[in-house]
Amino acid sequence: MKTVQAPCSSCIRKTKHDVLFETSQQRGEETRDSYALISCGGCSTVSMGHQRLWVDDGSIDQAYYPSPVSRKMPSWTFWLTLGLMKNKEEGALGALLMEIFQAVDGGQYRLAAMGIRALLEQVMIFKIGDLPTFDKKLDEFQKQGYISLIQRDSMRATLDVGDAAMHRGFRPTEQELSIALDVVEGVLLRKLSPNYRLGLIWWLVADEQNKGDGRHVKYFEGNRSAHWRSLDMNLFDGL
Ligand SMILES: [Zn+2]
């Protein structure tokens, strides 16, 4: 079977893919389109590759569906969607988060950014009630202890990305979108479902002499600990 290197949206990297089916079409003089149904050799995820050849200059546009994003939808999104975590409002938030990931998968970054903005606003309204502006909502959200000052800044920046997409047609980069999704996932995980607790699992292993594991503590030197603590006081003190 013919194989090609292609990005896999489940493995989140380029892998060898089997080509299950391919076809091409020439509809006009200018372009020739080739389509390939491909299956990841690592995880069997099926996707479609589309190549457009511009006859004039021989240049090629290439796209994949789902698009090769650098992150997966978190598995707890399904719980949210089903409303299993707590209640109906959370179910609606989960459904919106799922649509955001579908937009990311489809390369629709502007729509994803707008969705993220809407989702963050809904979470805030859900928690603190409706207030006239984003800044007032953010202030209150922070005041009631749902986010730290630094989280407030990153939420503000994330809302700005959504705003720019909505009002100025701004298209966020994959990295900007990825940061926005980090913020959303963090806020959702920590602030919804008070009956669930976020945990960290440590695995205690027998002492070893040679590998030197545990020597990587640079991130903690000087006044770095104050920085980490400012990100999330409760989590830091808990640890
Ligand atoms: Zn894969």
Distance 46 CA to ligand 1 centre (A): 8
Distance 9 CA to ligand 1 centre (A): 7
Distance 200 CA to ligand 1 centre (A): 27
How does DSSP assign the chain, residue by residue? --EEEEEETTTTEEEEEEEEEEEEE--SSSEEEEEEEEEETTT--EEEEEEEEETTT--EEEEEES---S-PPPTHHHHHHHT-SS-HHHHHHHHHHHHHHHHHHTT-HHHHHHHHHHHHHHHHHHHH---SSHHHHHHHHHHTTSS-HHHHHHHHHHHHHHHHHHHH-----HHHHHHHHHHHHHHHHHHS-TTS------------SSS-TT---GGGTTTHHHHHHHH-HHHHHH-
Distance 39 CA to ligand 1 centre (A): 8
pLDDT at position 192 is 58
Distance 84 CA to ligand 1 centre (A): 29
Distance 8 CA to ligand 1 centre (A): 5
pLDDT at position 237 is 78
Distance 17 CA to ligand 1 centre (A): 8
pLDDT at position 198 is 63
The residues of the chain scoring below 70 in pLDDT are 69-70, 81-87, 190-200, 213, 231
pLDDT at position 2 is 94
Does the model's pTM come out above 0.85?
A: no
pLDDT at position 149 is 78
pLDDT at position 183 is 83
148-174: pLDDT as tens digits: 777 788 888 888 889 899 898 898 888
